[in-house]
Amino acid sequence: MAGSDRDSKSRPVVVVTGMGVLTSLGAGQADNWGALTGGRSGLRRISRFPTDGLRTTVAGTVDFVPTEEATAAELTEKLAGMVIEEAIAESGIGSKGDFPGPLMLAVPPVEMDWPQRRALAAASGANETVTYEDLLRAAESGDFSRWYRRFLFASVGENLADRFGTKGSPVATSTACASGATAIQLGVEAIRRGEAEAALCVGTDASVTQEALIRFSLLSALSTRNDPPAAAARPFSKDRDGFVMAEGAGALVLESLAHARARGARILGVVEGCGEKADGFHRTRSSPDGRPIIACLREALEDAGAAPETVGYVNAHGTGTPENDKMEWLGVSAVFGERAGAIPISSNKSMIGHTLTAAGAVEAVFTLLAMQHGRLPPTINYEIPDPALPVDCVPNVARDAQVTRAVSNSFGFGGQNVTLVLGAAPG
Amino acid sequence: MSETRAPNPRDAVITGIGLVSCLGAGLDAHWEALNRPGGFQPVVDAERFAPFTVHPMVPLELDRQIPKKGDQRQMEAWQRIGTYAAGLALDDAGVKGNAELLGRMDMIVAAGGGERDYAVDGAILSALPHAANPEALLNERLMNELRPTLFLAQLSNLLAGNISIVHGVAGSSRTFMGEEPSGTDAVRIACARIAAGQGECFLVGGSYNTERPDILLQYAMGRLLWRREYAPVWRRQADGGGLVLGSVGCFLVIESRAHAAARGARASAHIAAITSDRCRREPGQASANAARQLAAVRPRLAAGSSAVISGASGAPGPTTEEESFLQELGLPVRATATALGHSMEPSLPANLALAAMAVSRGRLFGPLEAAEAPMEGELQQVLVTSWGHWRGEGMALVEAA
């Protein structure tokens, strides 16, 4: 393939020329990679709001980025802006405020938060019983137009498009916890069909609010192992008991190889293939036979024109819920066969928690960094192996390994499954 | 003279339509309501959310499309409307229950989010000012009073999730968010993937339930809701303009011409072009986008047999600007928000459905208000516009299949 700008299916090769990442471990590739390969956890006791009466009191919040009104939408947008700046700077593409391609954005559903609801209730002057009629009356009595704009679903993408000068209509996608990977897939497809030479693919999520935490808690999805916070996320361990909500963002500048070469850009990796499969079994659970996950993995490998034997690392979805890790292993073992137990399969979520909408993008960045640095980030808190999951999860300590092709999985509520096949930068 | 082009196997054609709104369920109900002898009569409810008027969803026989009561209970109204409309579209395309095809059908849904529990919100908002520790009270009340599955009825991607569960659409599932442009981009990307061979058969659409105080609250904060006696979209502008929202569900089965032919499906229309763009909405910018979009399709446009179905929302700035833009075209125009209400995410898919219906019957439906001219001759093409009430400009060209 050396020298060709096209893949084995005659499509433009899609490469990564810039990356940005931000998690509870810090801002930027350097801080994150250092912490991640050092086995450090970014999970902590929640300080953003009181946790009285909550079953879960830990999260991977991003507390070092100041906001004005402290809405989830505002912080979500800020994190995205930071990782985009990092990715564009590394890529050197376009010019300030002029990115030469579309924005594909994975963003959590935008909604009004409780402080605004309470402010409207106060503005209504209602005394004893507050209803939505009071809120509606209050909404028209004052100037709340900034909240109207803030809580439009399009607001985050439109504001980022204004700031970075991306081209065309920004796509804001939600495929639950697979959203970040979907954003990348949308960018890959646009480049492959020749619609764009570059795409800015971003996943961002800063929605650790009281209600968001409680919603997941009521679905029994969260770990309740609160002490110490760093031990809460335990992917693949027998004593795993749920995921830990977290915040973060990841950005990737994708380009056609031809475009990247023409401008002399440094190539950081290749997005070789994408697979997706919907699962109609249940709103929150996977088909017990694992068929959709298996089909998703196989479709990604087929799209990449890659045989399973050539995959050297799996960056797991690995949420640490009993269900997810079991189903993911079922899928991986079906696709990789006898070799499955010998492939390193690690979960970044053991350290950064589950960055939800952002996870697919954040973890794609980490997967590419692993190949770039020749080092696999560990799965920490792996103390009690689960005999049902005979997985090499790179337990507790990072490992040096030269990997040229890796898989990153993302699965989500609503039957969402997306797998990316990522390749190392060509020699 | 317009250019004529031979049908291409990679053309995106519409083979199934599911449309529900205040005018009824299904295309025939819409055709009838839009061609009422004596002129169009809007279906509105001015009482329930006074002073705001809404176009309420027609009562749906949910059991016909969502057979399991358990599934119905797991959904909020916006999901039921969408899942119902998706079922109608699959029926219309003749693919309902075709497990092989549905198992590889790609889905793109344009969605907002679900409804809040007003009783819980109201009780909490009432109690908070009197609480010694309001934050602890908020935790306690939410932990105890939120229904555990309410979250799943609110999550944007769970309309798609419910369609997978109820109808078995399971090739892929993507949800786009962001008001009107999300509906345009859902269709645009499906058509682009078909043209490029990145997909063969799609289910695309969305739903909107406007009979919700929390939705009205959002637009009330923007001071965008029309609060006088009902008036149609263009006439509203003389009195400052505003939104009259409507509950709408619309899904389209869009497939490659080759795929439709291979399974013997009849196409009602061809989506000959669909584009979207954005701007900061400084005066004239949206028109400039639309002019570029129009220039790309103009060589194809046949004078005398084409019309415009406009997605004008009623919001004052963009609506008056679009009105000027359309006046220069000199084509008959229908602003369907007058009839269906403005519906955000599904507004463009719904207008594609109406356009497909009109070209397949060879005739444009009657004027919806005095400012709209009748069209007597044969209809072959419809330009569909979708200018978001805040952002985003989209345009599609729908032709007879």
Rounded-to-integer distance, Cα A368 and Cα A91, Å = 14
Give the integer Cα–Cα distance in Å for B89 and B53: 29
3-state secondary structure string, B100-148?
HHHCCCEEEEECCCCCCCHHHHHHHHHHHHHCCCHHHHHHHHHHHHCCC
Neighbours of A142 (CB within 10 A): 12
Mean pLDDT of A37-60: 97
State whether B143 and A277 contact (CB < 8 Å).
no
**Contact status of A289 with chain B (Cβ, < 8 Å):** no
Kindly state whether B145 is in contact with chain A, defined as any CB-CB distance less than 8 angstroms.
Answer: no
Task: Exactly one of A201, A296, A354, A393 is catalytic; name it.
Answer: A354
DSSP SS3 for B309 = strand
Distance between CA atoms of B337 and B309, rounded to whole angstroms?
10
Let me know: does A81 contact A163? Beta carbons within 8 Å: yes
β-pair partners for A98: A95
Which pLDDT does position B1 carry in this prediction? 44
Residue with tokens 């100041």: A66
| A373 belongs to the catalytic site | no
- CB burial readout A185-210, b (16+ within 10 A) else e: bbbbbbbbbebbbbbbbbbbbbbbbb
The shortest C-alpha distance from A395 to chain B (Å) reads 33
Interface check for B391 against chain A (CB to CB < 8 A): the answer is yes
- ipTM for the predicted complex comes to 0.98
For chain A, what is the HEC assignment?
A: CCCCCECCCCCECEEEEEEEEEECCEECHHHHHHHHHCCCCCCEECCCCCCCCCCCCEEECCCCCCCCCCCHHHHHHHHHHHHHHHHHHHHCCCECCECCCCEEEECCCCCCCHHHHHHHHHHHCCCCCCCHHHHHHHHHHCCCHHHHHHCCCCHHHHHHHHHHCCCCCCEEECECECHHHHHHHHHHHHHHCCCCCEEEEEEEECCCCHHHHHHHHHCCCECCCCCCHHHCCCCCECCCCCECEECEEEEEEEEEHHHHHHCCCCCCEEEEEEEECCCCCCCCCCCCCCHHHHHHHHHHHHHHCCCHHHCCEEECCCCCCHHHHHHHHHHHHHHHHHHHHHCEEECCHHHHCECHHHHHHHHHHHHHHHHHHCEECCECCCCCECCCCCCECCECCCEECCCCEEEEEEEECCCEEEEEEEEECCC
> Which residues numbered 96-155 in A keep a CB inside 8 Å of some CB on B?
107, 109-112, 114, 117-118, 120-122, 126, 128-133, 135-136, 139-140, 144-145, 147-149, 151-154
Q: Does any CB of chain A come closer than 8 Å to the CB of residue B121?
A: yes
Give the C-alpha separation, B177 to A357, whole Å: 13
Q: What percent of chain A has pLDDT over 90?
A: 97
pLDDT value for A176: 97
Q: How many CB atoms lie within 10 A of CB A108?
A: 26
For each of the domains in chain A, give its residue range(s) and CATH number, in order of start.
15-111+151-414 (3.40.47.10), 115-150 (no CATH)
A177 is catalytic: yes
Question: Which H or E run contains B317?
Answer: helix B316-329
Contacting residues of B for A168, CB less than 8 Å apart: 276-278
Which residues 16-75 on chain B approach chain A with CB closer than 8 angstroms?
74
Model confidence at A2, in pLDDT bands (50, 70, 90)?
A: very low
Position B2 scores a pLDDT of 57
Q: What is the C-alpha to C-alpha distance for residues B224 and B243, in angstroms, rounded to an integer?
A: 6
Candidate from A132, A186, A413 with C-beta closest to B217: A132
CB atoms within 10 A of CB A89: 12
Which of B303, B299, B294, B282 minimizes the C-alpha distance to B385? B294
Hey, what are A122's tokens? 């106060």
The share of chain A scoring above pLDDT 70, in percent, equals 99
Residue-level pLDDT at A1: 43
Which residues of chain A does B181 touch, with a Cβ-Cβ cutoff of 8 Å?
154, 169
**Which residues of chain B neighbour A128 with C-beta distances below 8 Å?**
126
Beta bridge partners, A61, equal: none
d(CA B78, CA B84): 10
The residue ranges of every structural domain in chain B are 12-114+155-400, 118-150
Strands B52-54 vs B45-49: parallel, antiparallel or unpaired: antiparallel
The answer to whether the Cβ–Cβ distance between A193 and B390 falls below 8 Å is no
Q: What average pLDDT does this structure show over A261-268?
A: 98
CATH code of the domain occupying B12-114+155-400 = 3.40.47.10
For the residues A316-341, what does the mean pLDDT come to?
Answer: 98
Residue A86, CA atoms < 13 Å, CB-side half-sphere: 21
Report the pLDDT value the prediction gives residue B137, as an integer from 0 to 100: 97
Residue window 302-331, chain A: list those with CB within 8 Å of chain B. Answer: none
Q: Is the pLDDT reported for residue A291 higher than 60?
A: yes
What residue type is assigned to position A364 of the chain?
A: A
B305 part of contact set with chain A, CB < 8 Å: no
Give the type of residue at B238: A
Q: How many CB atoms lie within 10 A of CB B4?
A: 7
Whether chain B has a CB inside 8 Å of the CB on A38: the answer is no
Query: Cβ of B298 under 8 Å from any chain A Cβ?
Result: no
Residues in chain A: 427
Give A 199-238 residues with CB within 8 A of chain B.
210-211, 214-219
Question: Which of B40, B34, B20 minimizes the C-alpha distance to B91?
Answer: B20
CB B111 within 8 A of CB B207: yes
Say if residue B51 is preceded by a cis peptide, omega within 30 of 0. Answer: yes
Q: What is the three-class DSSP state of B341?
A: coil
Residue type present at position B220: A
A92 C-beta neighbours (distance < 10 Å), count: 14
A259 is catalytic: no
Rounded Cα gap, residues A340 and A297, in angstroms: 13
Residues on chain B touching A283 (C-beta within 8 angstroms): 74, 149, 152, 158, 161-162, 165
- The reply to whether residue B213 touches residue A132, judged by beta carbons under 8 angstroms, is yes
How many A×B Cβ pairs under 8 Å?
Answer: 245
Is A38 exposed, middle or buried, given 0-12, 13-18 or 19+ CB atoms closer than 10 A? middle
Tokens (6 digits) for A388 = 């049902």
Average pLDDT over chain A reads 97
Among B263, B143, B118, residue whose Cα is nearest residue A56: B143
- Return averaged pLDDT per consecutive 10 residues of chain B, 401 residues in all: 76 98 98 96 98 98 98 96 98 98 98 96 97 96 96 96 98 98 98 98 98 98 97 98 98 98 98 98 97 96 94 98 97 98 98 98 98 96 98 98 94
